[in-house]
Amino acid sequence: MATATVERVLGKSIKRREDPRFITGRGTYVDDVKLPGATYAAFVRSPHAHARIRKIDTTAARTHPGVVAVFTGSDMTGVNSLPCGWDLRKAKNIPGVVQDLAMVPHMPLTADAARHVGDPVAVVIAESHEAAVDAAEKVKVDWEVLKAITSTDRAAAAASPQLHAGAPGNVAFKWEIGDAAATDAAFRNAAVTVKKRIVNQRLVANAMEPRACAARYDEANGELTLWVTSQNPHVHRLLMCAFVLGIPEHKVRVIAPDVGGGFGSKVFLYNEEVVCSWAARALKRPVRWTASRREAYVTDAHGRDHVTDAELALDRDGKMLGLRVKTTANLGAYLSTFAPAIPTFLYGTLLNGVYAIGAIHCQVTGVFSNTTAVDAYRGAGRPEAAYVLERMVEAGARAIGMDTAELRRRNFIPRFSGAFQTLVAVAYDSGDYAGAFDKLLQIFDYRKFRAEQDAARKEGRLLGVGFSAYIEACSIAPSKLVGALGAGAGLYESGKVRVHPTGMVTVYTGSHSHGQGHETTFAQLVADELGIPIEQVEIVHGDTGQIPFGMGTYGSRSASVGGTAILMSLNKIKEKGKKIAAHLMEASPGDIEYANGQFQVRGAPGKAVPFGAVSLTAYVPHNFPEGLEPGLEETSFYDPSNFCFPFGAHACVVEVDRDTGRVTILRYVAVDDVGNVMNPMIVDGMVHGGIAQGVGQALCEGAVYDEASGQLMTGTMMDYALPKADMLPMYETDRTVTPTPVNPLGVKGAGETGTIAATPAVVNAVVDALAPLGIDHIETMPLSAERVWSAIQNAKR
């Protein structure tokens, strides 16, 4: 009864199974969901960065044709603050950490004061979108305009206006990690020290699909369904039900259907989702809202926004003796869902990088300002850490006159597997940092480039190369560990495998795909493990009504944490299947092995039962093992034992036009190590996209506030410069493969590597190009033509 072996698909670049619906316009994003009888919400937002609300007059809006209701903050009685899910005060047993955090309230509709441009103060709900928007303009708010502070640097200064009564001096928290005394000693003993101010500017995620939600309340059974642009529907549901609205969680279904990109910005619980859900219950009508891009710019959580003073101590041979980092992180007006974790446990803990550094000390001050809240944006803390380190490595190499590649090679942590304890709490899983870097140098042909660069410089051309050797922490994360760091949640993942009587398989994952391709990669895993054609496998995600409680997708965790949960369920399926097959073949379960889609008796070729027959028997259990439950369905929750730590090395070549300051990327080479790879095409695609975002930060992106008025000057796609096709090259990508010992799949995570690596590589390249002019540092990104031109002009003086 032998079955034909099904071709293995895991690890292969098979085409994506979700694509046919997207390329034919048949995806279903939140704004595509049609709800009969729907009403439309329009939010009244503060035009001021900081203003007290004296009075809100909604009379004219209420009588506008088509208006169903108008609500202000004072109407939303019994509704609580949006929660912050990471309380640094609960961080325990981490040496050196200062426990402190100002948990300030963040009401869905602010009733006392607006603290950033775009802060919502009222909502109009009408029969049409147009009526809602028109009526929203008729809501009259009597504002007492206050002085605003947007500057990261000066937010905590004594003269700055105060945002929250509960946060004196606008300080949200002070936090530190590492060994201050050992670091001081390292600096005393150093041959060379370098100090730089490094500004990691504020970014906007800019997922192409704006945030949206649609809430429907079914009075007959008391159930609320919320369609929302979410990377983690269960997290949305839990936070909204348990913390904000106080409604029964089991009566709420959150659906995140096709979601058009997230990059972190769709992790968090936002005001609008809560208000629409609340209003749908209050009005007993569906309520929907889709952000305009303008609204997205002032309300989607922003990313980065650090000002850092960094110092590096070296000996004469270029050995890194000590790193001292002082960072001010701008958190915006309120604490977003995971905001306190980003500039602390996802930043300070990564400052060891890929280098064996003698001593590290890092202090972070989180500050409030009259700006949009800042939270995780692709990479989240890790790009900031990599940027500081890789800029300092370059500065150090220039200070002692050593080649930057050579300085890196002298400091790499030697190859290891199992654990490398860093000086900043985390222990790496496996790594071969020199291996990736050497492969990069080889592909790039470093010596040849330096010869070309010399020749170009003689002609007066400004050619430069920049490297970055990075590490990142993903596969987020062991629940016990993050709990000890202050997380309000566990960070396991769920995976349920349902085998149908016909042998078809549906997999329910707590991970969420908003571009990552889970419907393909997870199906590859399932098909290979069960030895069945991939066509028999369906992946379901994004619906709390179908999937077991799951934590969602961010921090490059889906393959490693979500994939492992699925694998665990597959193993349980096989174990149960062995019992059924053994019974059918009158053999002992211990003698059964599963291979090529069939259960067979070990050592007795030909004595086998195919997967489909066992599936059918499980549901038609006439001839069935005594005491065994019918059915073939298993659920698992996987909680990782550690983070995984992907790494790699990137190189970028740029040419700077000395007359205009314009930077052109001539070449980009990436060598990444993300552990085992489930679908190389998909991993490469994520690396490409990550590089583009990293290049964007380096060369063109940046959220800019006018300091006097607190207005967001880059509040449209006309003003915020996203990278376009014509400013990017074809990327050369390659890999080394160092599987992680943390999970059985050996996968680490690939979603953020490009973003982390690219920014320092590009900036280092520009600085290298400008070196003949005596420029060794540019404090602030993006390196726009204007900024580079200014640097060139200043250098001439």
Interaction site with other proteins (CB under 8 A): 15-16, 18-29, 31-32, 34, 130, 206-210, 258-261, 263, 290, 292-294, 514-517, 681-682, 684-686, 688-693, 716-718, 722-726, 728, 730-731, 754
Q: Is the sign of the CA dihedral 169, 175, 178, 182 positive or negative?
A: positive
How distant is the alpha carbon of residue 312 from its chain centre?
Answer: 29
Closest separation between CB of residue 237 and other proteins, Å?
A: 22
Which residues partner with 330 through β-bridges?
Answer: 367
Closest separation between CB of residue 44 and other proteins, Å?
A: 18
The CA distance from 603 to 625, in Å, is: 22
From residue 29, alpha-carbon distances to 33, 258, 348, 487 in Å are: 7, 5, 37, 30
Closest separation between CB of residue 516 and other proteins, Å?
A: 7
**Closer residue to other proteins in complex, CB, 40/647:** 40
**Closer residue to other proteins in complex, CB, 557/583:** 557
**Closer residue to other proteins in complex, CB, 5/28:** 28
Alpha helices for 645-752 (secondary structure H):
680-699
Closest separation between CB of residue 133 and other proteins, Å?
A: 11
Closest separation between CB of residue 418 and other proteins, Å?
A: 34
Q: What is the helix (H) or strand (E) element at residue 494, kind and residue range?
A: strand 493-499
**Closer residue to other proteins in complex, CB, 173/297:** 297
The CA distance from 511 to 761, in Å, is: 31
> By CB neighbour count within 10 A (0-12 exposed, 13-18 middle, 19+ buried), where does 9 fall?
buried
Residues 371 and 705 sit within 8 Å (Cβ to Cβ): yes
The CA distance from 42 to 38, in Å, is: 13
**Closer residue to other proteins in complex, CB, 300/633:** 300
**Closer residue to other proteins in complex, CB, 4/718:** 718
**Closer residue to other proteins in complex, CB, 486/555:** 555
The CA distance from 715 to 206, in Å, is: 11
Closest separation between CB of residue 657 and other proteins, Å?
A: 18
**Closer residue to other proteins in complex, CB, 4/730:** 730
The CA distance from 468 to 355, in Å, is: 12
**Closer residue to other proteins in complex, CB, 369/511:** 511
Alpha helices for 156-205 (secondary structure H):
180-188
Closest separation between CB of residue 720 and other proteins, Å?
A: 9
Q: Where are the beta strands (DSSP E) in 658-758?
A: 663-673, 732-735
From residue 196, alpha-carbon distances to 215, 321, 599 in Å are: 49, 17, 63
Closest separation between CB of residue 206 and other proteins, Å?
A: 6
Residue with tokens 């590290």: 360
Closest separation between CB of residue 696 and other proteins, Å?
A: 9
**Closer residue to other proteins in complex, CB, 326/688:** 688
Closest separation between CB of residue 607 and other proteins, Å?
A: 42
**Closer residue to other proteins in complex, CB, 181/208:** 208
Closest separation between CB of residue 208 and other proteins, Å?
A: 4
First vs last C-alpha separation in the chain: 85
The CA distance from 615 to 602, in Å, is: 20
Instruction: Please name the amino acid found at residue 456.
Output: A
How many other C-beta atoms lie within 10 A of the C-beta of residue 429? 27
Instruction: Report helix, strand or coil for 500.
Output: coil
Q: How many residues does the chain have?
A: 797
Instruction: Please name the amino acid found at residue 96.
Output: G
